Structure 1
Amino acid sequence: MVLSHTAYSFRFGVLEPQDVLEIAEKHGCTPLILAEINGTAGILPSLHKAKIPIYPATDLRDRGHRIAVLLPESPWGFQHLNAWLSEARPHRLHELPNLPEVRIIYPLSRAPERALKAHEWIGVEEGEQRRAERHPAFERCLAWTTMAFRGNGDYNSHRLLRAMELNTVLSKLTFDDHLPNAHRWEDMAAVAARFSSVLWKQSQRFLASLPPWDAQLGKGSGGKNQQTYTGSKAKDTALLRHLCLDALPHRYPKASRAVTERLEKELQIIQEKAFTAYFLLNWDIVRYAQKQAYFYVGRGSGANSMVAYLLKITNVDPIELDLYFERFINLYRQSPPDFDLDFSWRDRQHLTAYIFKRFPNTALLGACNTFQYRAVVRELGKVFGLPKFEIDALADGKIPGGDESAQRLLQYAHRLHGLPNRMSIHSGGILISQEPLHAFSTTFLPPKGFPTVDFDMYTAEDVGLHKFDILGQRGLSKISECVEILKETRPAEAAQLDIHDVQRFKTDPPSLALLKQGGAMGCFYVESPAMRMLMHKLQTASYLELVAASSVIRPGVAQSGMMREYIERHRDPEKRRRAHPILLDIMPETYGVMVYQEDVIRVAHYYAGLSLAEADVLRRGMSGKYRSREEFLAVERQFFSNCREKGYPDADAREIWRQIESFAGYAFAKGHSASYAVESFQSLYLKAHYPLEYLVATVNNGGGFYRAEFYLQEARRHGAHIEAPCVNEGRTDTCIQPKNRIILGSGRISGMDISVCRALDQERAQHGPFTSLAQFIDRMHRAEHPLSLDALLLLIRAGAFRFTGQPKRALLWEAHHRLGHKPQAAPSLSLFEEPVRAFSLPSLAHHALDEAYDQLELFGFSLGHPFDLFTGWQGKRSTSVKHWPKHIGETIQILGYVVAIKHSKTVKGEHMQFATFQEHNGQIFDTVHFPPTVKRHVLKDRGVYLLTGRVQDELGYLSLEVDDIERCPMIADPRYADSGLGHPVVQIPKRRAANPT
């Protein structure tokens, strides 16, 4: 009998499942025992593709040594095997279990000396036959061989993978670490001829004795998700109808006939497609979130559903938006509609824990990380024993001529590129199945602490497991924290605020003004330069227009070349006449331009006459989740065939198909865009009416498109006074104090232990403000997380003790005096504060820029004006943005501080850049740097620049096409002025995520 494995035997196998199956069929190696190494990750993908009989198994190995092969007789045995492997890996694989309906085949060299049990057998290699004939259990010996390589290329790839896994150079790899080169694919007849007829017949009888496997395990037929919510399909149907009818008066106070007909149609198809439990499971999840006051947004194709709207899974009204029903669900759709449930990143872990507790058969969805070319080059460089500088050069594409070793390395990097490397976690997928997840694969336990299956979303869909997407995002955290801050700063207004009253927000004039004028910095999905530019061009002034803009910005519309056409048709009704009459009739709202995923389905169905089943193939192809290229090409041929039958000009058909193809992987469903727009309006309302509270919440939750520095500058433009951390008035997170004072959080100090910050907050809350540095030290020594000298020095340098009125350097001396020697015993709490021995210091010089450079080092930015750290800009001619309308098409100069840089490539692959700058008065402007400019001056880091370029007007949006840049030098760091160190480079801390709760 023949054993093999796939590349899902990570860093061991070299062939994809499809390759293994095709090679096995070609050589007549059937039935095939597919024995993955120490796992079962490749079993489901193989079963799904298999056209030959295969038996799943696990090949237990210690490095290269085979311990045993475990062969389940049935799906029940497969489940037990997966459960055991999940517990035993990687350290208990030698402790072979007695699993029900699982056979164990030992290699002859490891056969037990005792009598074999009924489920135990012995595998014999070709060269072991004489030894086997003398074995007392010869009647239970089986002829077996492992086939793994097509030739030397596969064998060498295998050895390289083993060296990577064992973290050794190739020359130190031993024969025991990898398979011999002899394990090559060959005809089954040739293998049989080399074994004795007795052994071969025993092997054939063994295979014949295996019960027929359930072929449906790897197929998508039949739902694998949890089948009922209440335990009964009839009760599920009744519950879903009851919930919808109960919510109808709230969502639709005056429900029209169209509403009730749409509801009945949805309920009927949901029942027919057996999606009832899927909807109820999602309802259970969001109901729990509502009870816990967790903010969430439901989006995805399911947002096109009225049932989802009534169940509050989404907040998108399909009637108001005229959402296309067939995008949500139709009788030809095999998978349930997609719900992406976004939660605050602070709440997501708790919500996930609830799901695991609530539903018994739950696991996180895996994701397969594949070898990427540059990473493989680096790994192989280590295996080849190359020095780092050579590895760096090869990874950057610098290939030394005539170096055979380098050429061989790159050759195998191309061979390994794209092979499975490791299993990791899907960004948000959770599986809730009818059967235990071990019925499908092994699981592993990542740092998140939840079991995760050893297969990805594609395999899950292939076998009929449909994921629940539970995602975390910071936009919702900003909204929820802003509401909490308002309860402190403006309690009366907070009591009146209903953050879920989106209908009011959609018509709020200040919110709409921010949207139209591009002033939405910090607001979800609408703050990026590209989005601000688009909204300015569209003059976006309503919720529906924002819904369209949210999808127009996606690459699909831009790549089809229709973004500009959409903008022009939106602004000029006369240009709408350019639309194809049929397309304009299908999509009047978007002026005949395909913007949403459902537009493509509509065009395919109504223009080209494709069936809804064929249109669904297009939809899956666009989403990037469809892997059957054959079926997609068949639909393409049908599209053109139908167009010819309808008498459409070939040029029209080709152009429409080109636009359809451009949507691949990039189009939004309209309901998805609408869900984003809801969250955008919530953030716009808060930014428009409570800018300081909202911007503080933005800083505390990791910002958004821009750095925290920029949001603080934005707060300053709204009247805030930005101050450094303070041990008395500040907190771990950034906070607002009376008179519009924003105190930076101590948790933002680079290198600061968050636990010390929390302990500081707790100590002050329990025992009141600190009166001096000495008292602070004494009290913090009693805290749960005692204060270290390093933490104290960071707080002093950050300015957190300015309330004492003492210079920083004096405070630093005192800190070293108190904590710089042996650790002090924690003082006991006394009724009266004991006096501290005073000491005098000479006057210590202090430069005005000392503070700014300390802040730059500790926060990543200074709290003063960003221009203050640079010189050479004073006196330069700078044409302010407000004067640009007078200089359109002219070359001007302007000084700007870098806010954001985006690297991009032209269609020819040349490097270009987009950037956002802030001029001295705080005004924001955008620039574009084409390849000739980038070749001369690559914009790399922050700083003040003198930019020379032409003012461009594109549909009313002004930007600068840069021809030349000149960086202004930084002022020398005065802290090192007397040290002879000159002007050392200040290490700016990397962008820091919000503090964990």
Structure 2
Amino acid sequence: MYLNTHTYYSLRYGTFSVKELCELAGRNKATAVALTDINNTSACLSFLKMAAEYEFTPLTGVDFRNGVQQQYVGLARNNAGFKQLNDHLSAHLHAEKSFKKDAPGLPDCYLIYPLEKVIADKKTTFRENEFIGVSVESLRKLKFSGYLRYREKLVLLQTVSFRSKKDFNAHRLLRAIDNNVLLSKLSQSEQGCVEHQMLPPGTIEAAFEDHLHILENTQNLIAGCKLYFGFGKARLNRNLQVFGNSREEDAESLKALCIKNLPRRYPNASEAVYARVNKELEAIISLGFVSYFLINHDIVEYARSRNYPFIGRGSGANSVVAYIIGITNVDPIELDLYFERFINAHRHSPPDFDIDFSWKDREDVTAYIFNKYENTALLATYVTFKRRAVIRELGKVFGLPKAEIDKLSAGFFKIEDLDEMEKLVFRYSYLIAGFPNYLSVHAGGIMILQEPVHNYAATFLPPKGFATIQFDMHVAEDVGIFKFDILAQRGLSKITDAIEIIKQNQPGAVVEDMENVSVFKNDPNVNHLLRTGDCMGVFYVESPAMRGLFIKLQTEDYLGLVAASSIIRPGVSNGGMKEEYIKRHRDPERRKQAHPVMYEIMPDTYGIMVYQEDVLKVAHFFAGLSLEEADVLRRGMSGKKLAEGEFDRLEAKFRSNCREKGYSEQLVEEVWNQVLSFAGYAFPKGHSASYAVESYQSLYLKYYFPLEFMVACLNNGGGFYDVETYIQEIRKCGGRVHAPCINKSDHHTVIYGKDVYLGLGYIKELEIKVVQHILENRNFFGPFSSFDDFIDRVPVSIEQLSILLKIDAFRFTGVDKHHLLWKAFFKLSRSKTRTDQQLLFRPPHRDFELPELAHSFLIDAYDQMELLGFSLHDHFRLLKNPMKNSAVKAADLQNFVGKEIEIYGNLITAKRTATVNREYMVFGTFFDPAGDIFDTVQFPRAAERFPLHSKGIYLCRGKVVNELGYLSVTINRIERQETVGDPRFVNSAWKALPA
């Protein structure tokens, strides 16, 4: 009987998992175990589910502590008591306040105070549900205290935190990490006792042979506890079941929405459309998912009312009902999306709707959900200790020098060469790696429940202020809670920001309605960008790999884009099916090599599995499983939990059906292995189609409004590439990029015609309050007329003003920045107090005669590198040695296919990829002196000899390869080119500036 046990969800304290606790209880033949993690109920539901496989009685509760100091243990007598414990814990976690020494009245709980605490507090009054906990160690204290007479209140409270001395050592290390102290400095008060281990029942009975009433009291207490949560087949749907007033009214509302919106989506709807809608509605209503659809519809309608862009995706994008009522913009009829992919009679969970919002809007949408729906919380995720990070932390608490910690973390050592302390770090890093470190917030999961959130766990309050439950999505699904995914991305805000910038920069321009995607799909100019891979800045498709794929496939339509965004995924790509798809796409004759049945099943993808739906098609049409069984099989392959033995049963049926159809064993094995390796990585077709819609919106803006679109990219954090690469793209589109300017720049980047001014926010070490002062003053009183005018109007220190001068933000004055920097030191006294108060009378400014000061573009370039992180000047002008005249340009590579060439390139990005032999290849992307992009490939030998360690300009030597129209250079030698040194360290004019 153990009423106080801890798992590693007693964060940075406990030392084993829930499963290991159950196994420990089984080995020790425990009759009852209460999981009471410290200020945490993360593991309670998992414990109840797992304990059903063992022979002990499971109880749940909380060990309430202030830091490590135990106040009392609360046990739930029933489900109401579990909620009371969660309410109490959550209130303290939200307010970040300590627990009082006495527990509040929690009528459906048992509250146990440890004997040591009772003695220290001289507690003499106890409620009916309050008890005194006695352990084997504290029993001797009981004999000499006055609490022996509290016969009815005494129960066994044997704490279990460790399995062995090794666990205790790991615990001490965790406590040292938590307190950020050396292990030798860890206070005794900050750690548990090594005796806190699970003792066999016989040992406990022997210790309490003179106090058997304590054990009897404990048995009675255990008998008074009974919790129930359905798991497995007994699991209920805990989501909000009624959106309006009743289930019947909800069903009629969903039907009415379909009737109202169907003509807009299908102006000339066929009988097939009506049949699909009726089939879906019947399934949605019968399976009880109506409220799920209505809630998602309510969320997107709120977004529309606020003009927030969004993308509805996930398996729910296969639903024609979702398309008609506006949750998604993907037409399942057009794309032949399988109904059974998102819902079927065997599915007890609702379909997935992942709804992407702009990163700027997601928080407001989340607030709307919390304000409208009562029982709401975010889902947590467990941030675990990663092994390298653990090594670093353990190295610190053991006091190892940094060099040794670096060596251990990097893995550059042999075990036999380590000293004893280093071996300890190495050994315990294996034990602690994988432990939960702290609770964080799931990327977008929100629970909207029928019953109060605290029925299931406690909540904490992250910085953004939305209550977050203490368990993750897997625990939630176990008990019947299915999340709503409210996600954030920057691609959508690029679109909305681009439209606003267009309105400001080109007031007369006509911008198409972004919802009218069919216009973009059928625009040859937009499709030309796809075919040529000219997708810089476009959401999801701008990477070098996608650019190369578009060129190889000659992608030029919506369906081609949908396919491309799926075959780039690991499931297709790693199995060699990507290359085969490209070849069959380009060569109709090669399609004849496909198995006739596979080609008949998937004619649009040439008999190759590309989408998750293809798993359903193969399992149904090739292997003869029902569509419902096929989806269950797909879910099992994707890592979803199935009933025990279900996956094996379906695999056996898959194989036996194939044999009955007369397929050879070799073919059956080949197809099964393809399905098995593919299903876990593939996208649903509707998911790819949803992303393709957003990509087309961005492609339209990029073609017709390239400068405004690229400015929007910069203002939303870029994308796959760095800022410098997007600046290069702006220049390629005819824009002129300027350094930040006092009179032209905002905090973010702005555009005037074709002139793009980088934002003041890009300047490193420029304080935000200085930027605010500049912008507020300029907005109220107009542009600055001179340097002196700026000094009079804006309170700024000489240090901050120096930063603005070095970036040449006052170039509108026509005065050299070096002269202005000298004047700044004369005009501003660093000891003089500046004020925000505007001057009523401005004192006259005295000017100074200064000698001629040296200046060159090199100084500007290095100032920009220091303050912006990159130079706006041509990088190739910074080379120390002139470029070879024989070097070719990227635009001319098609003239040198199969030939060895030399080409200069400024590195944009490099990607290391492991080969089947566990060697590494490197794929590089560069732009040449003309600003054109080219790609390189380094096979393992070249990658090892010539590593790409850093950005810079390289001279690339290699052979030009043409792969289905995609040109690249296979590198045999590559050398980083030396640049001119920083002239600021040798230029006497700068050296003589005041300190």
TM range (shorter): over 0.9
Confirm or deny that 1:168 pairs with 2:172. no
Q: Quote the residue 1:287 is aligned against.
A: 301
1:470 matches 2:486: yes
Give SS of 2:815's match: coil
Stretch deviating more after TM superposition (155-164 or 588-597): 155-164
2:37: which partner in 1? 36
Give me the whole-angstrom Cα distance separating, in 1, the residues matched to 2:769 and 2:517. Answer: 38
Of 101, 104, 108, which aligns to 1:97?
A: 104
User: CA distance change for structure 1 residues 951 and 717 in 2, over 3 Å: closer, same or farther?
Assistant: same
> Alpha-carbon deviation of 1:138?
2.3
What's the offset of the Cα at 1:648? Answer: 2.1
Letter in 1 for 2:321: V
Distance (Å, rounded) in 2 between the aligned partners of 1:660 and 1:840: 80
Could you tell me which residue of structure 2 aligns to residue 956 of structure 1? 965
| Counterpart residue number, 2:117 | 110
Name the structure 1 match of 2:584.
569
Contact 1:63 1:178 (C-alpha < 8 Å) held by counterparts: no
Task: Check 1:126–1:817 CA distance in 2 against 1; reply closer, same or farther (3 A cut).
Answer: same
Deviation at 1:83, TM superposition (A): 1.9
Change (3 A) 1:247 1:435: same
Q: Structure 2 CA distance, aligned partners of 1:427 and 1:402?
A: 40
- Deviation string 1:634-692 (CA, Å, 9 cap, x unpaired) is 54344334333433222112211222222254211000000110001001011111111
In structure 2, what is the equivalent of residue 415 of structure 1?
431
CA gap of 1:219–1:770, structure 2 versus 1, over 3 A, is farther
Rounded to whole Å, the distance in 1 between the matches of 2:917 and 2:36 is 46
The 3 A distance-change label for structure 1 pair 178 and 648 is: farther
Contact (CA 8 Å) 1:622, 1:667: kept in 2 or not?
A: no
Count of residue pairs the alignment pairs up: 974
Amino acid corresponding to residue 76 of structure 1 in structure 2: A
Given that 2:853 and 2:989 are in contact with CA atoms closer than 8 Å, whether structure 1 keeps it comes out as no
Is the counterpart of residue 15 in structure 1 residue 25 in structure 2? no
What is the distance in 1 between the residues matched to 2:764 and 2:644? 50
Please list the CA deviations of residues 323-367 of structure 1 after superposition, one character each: whole Å capped at 9, or x if unmatched: 111112111112111111111111111111111111111111100
Task: State the alpha-carbon separation in 2 of the partners of residues 379 and 979 from structure 1.
Answer: 47
Q: Does the 8 Å contact 1:116/1:137 carry over to 2? A: no
Spell out the pairing of 1:304-323 with structure 2 (5 A cutoff). Answer: 304-323=318-337
Q: 1:844 maps to which residue?
A: 853
Q: 1:339 to 1:788 in 2, by over 3 A?
A: farther
- 1:180 matched residue in structure 2: 193
Question: 2:618 is matched by which residue type in structure 1?
Answer: V
| Distance change >3 Å, CA 306–CA 788, structure 1 → 2 | farther
Q: Which moved more, 1:266-275 or 1:217-226?
A: 217-226
* Residue equivalent to 1:651: 666
In structure 2, C-alpha distance between the alignment counterparts of 1:980 and 1:734, rounded to whole Å: 32
1:75 aligns with 2:91: no
Cα gap change, 1:715/1:209 in structure 2, threshold over 3 Å: closer, same or farther? Answer: closer
Mapping 1:721-870, distance limit 5 Å: 721-738=736-753, 740-781=754-795, 787-826=796-835, 829=838, 835-870=844-879
What is the rounded CA distance, in whole Å, between the counterparts of 1:862 and 1:394 in structure 2? 38
Q: How does 1:624-703 map to 2 (within 5 A)?
A: 624-626=639-641, 631-703=646-718
Match of 2:164 in 1: 151
How far, CA to CA, are the matches of 2:758 and 2:185 in structure 1?
Answer: 54
Shifted more, 219-228 versus 923-932: the winner is 219-228
**1:249-398 mapped onto 2 (5 Å cutoff):** 249-398=263-412
Contact 2:984 / 2:990 at 8 angstroms: preserved in 1?
Answer: no
CA 355–378 in structure 1, closer or farther in 2 if over 3 Å, else same? same
The structural deviation recorded for 1:275 is 0.8
Q: Distance between the aligned counterparts of 2:724 and 2:907, measured in 1?
A: 11
Q: Is the 8 A contact 2:612 2:679 kept in 1?
A: no
> Compared with structure 1, are the counterparts of its residues 623 and 793 closer, same or farther at alpha carbon in structure 2 (3 Å cutoff)?
farther
Residues of 2 paired with 1:793 and 1:804: CA distance? 16
SS at structure 1 position matched to 2:37: strand
Give the equivalent residue in structure 2 for 1:720.
735
Partners in 1 of 2:799 and 2:902 — Cα distance? 46
Unaligned 5+ runs, structure 2: none
For residues 797 and 628 of structure 2, the distance between their equivalents in structure 1, rounded to whole angstroms, comes to: 66
Give the equivalent residue in structure 2 for 1:58. Answer: 62
Could you list the runs of 5+ residues in structure 1 that have no partner in the other structure?
A: 782-786, 983-997
Once the 2 structures are TM-superposed, how far is the Cα of residue 409 of structure 1 from its aligned partner?
2.1
Distance in 1, matches of 2:314 and 2:829, equals 58
CA distance in 2, matches of 1:102, 1:31: 17
In the alignment, what sits opposite 1:995? none
CA contact (8 A) 1:294 1:344 kept: yes
State the alpha-carbon separation in 2 of the partners of residues 904 and 753 from structure 1. 40
SS of equivalent to 1:492: coil
CA-atom RMSD, angstroms?
2.2
Query: 1:220, 1:463 within 8 Å by CA — same for their partners in 2?
Result: no
Q: Cα 1:67–1:699, aligned 2, differ >3 Å: closer, same or farther?
A: same
SS of the residue 1:332 aligns to: coil
Q: Are the aligned partners of 1:870 and 1:971 in contact in 2 as well (CA < 8 Å)? A: yes
Q: What amino acid does structure 2 have at the position aligned with 1:395?
A: S
* 2:421 equivalent in structure 1: 405
Cα pair distance change 1:218/1:121, threshold 3 Å: farther
- Give a deviation string over 1:806-843, Cα, whole Å, max 9, x none: 11112112323333422334375467765322222222
The 1:980–1:737 alpha-carbon spacing in structure 2 relative to 1, beyond 3 Å, is: closer
Secondary structure of the structure 2 residue equivalent to 1:663: helix
The residue number in structure 2 matching 1:194 is 207
Matched, 1:919 2:928: yes
Distance 1:504 1:947 in 2: 42
Aligned-partner residue type, residue 42 of structure 1: A
* 8 Å CA contact 2:539, 2:698 repeated in 1: yes
Contact 1:298 / 1:315 at 8 angstroms: preserved in 2? yes
2: CA distance, partners of 1:231 / 1:380: 57
**Cα offset for 1:723?**
1.2
How far did residue 492 of structure 1 move? Answer: 2.2
| Counterpart-to-counterpart distance in 2, 1:425 and 1:827 | 41
Give the Cα–Cα distance (whole angstroms) in 2 for the partners of residues 335 and 912 of structure 1. Answer: 42
Letter in 1 for 2:466: F
Task: Please tell me the residue identity of whatever aligns with 1:855.
Answer: Q
Identity, in percent, stands at 47
Partner of 2:332, secondary structure, is coil
Any idea what the Cα deviations from partners look like across 1:19-70, whole Å, max 9, x if unmatched?
Answer: 2123313432132111111221111221232214311111123454432111
Residue 387 of structure 1, CA deviation: 1.2
Given that 1:44 and 1:218 are in contact with CA atoms closer than 8 Å, whether structure 2 keeps it comes out as no
The 3 A distance-change label for structure 1 pair 980 and 731 is closer
Q: Distance in 2 between matches of 1:418 and 1:615?
A: 34
Q: Which residue of 2 aligns with 1:594?
A: 609
For the residues of structure 1 that align with 2:669 and 2:279, how far apart are their CA atoms?
Answer: 35
User: Structure 1, residues 739-766: CA drift from partner, whole Å, max 9, x if none?
Assistant: x111111111122233432442232222
Cα distance change, pair 642–160 in 1 and its aligned pair in 2 (3 A): farther
Supply the AA of the counterpart residue of 2:44: I
Structure 1 range deviating more: 306-315 or 19-28 = 19-28
1:897–1:87 Cα change, 3 Å: same
Q: Which moved more, 1:938-947 or 1:627-636?
A: 627-636
Q: Deviations over 1:534-574 (max 9, x none)?
A: 01010001101101111011111011210011111111111
Displacement after TM superposition at 1:793 (Å): 2.0
Partner of 2:726: 711
- Name the SS of the counterpart of 2:383 in structure 1: strand
Q: SS in structure 2 opposite 1:491?
A: coil
Which residue of structure 1 lines up, in the alignment, with residue 142 of structure 2?
Answer: 132
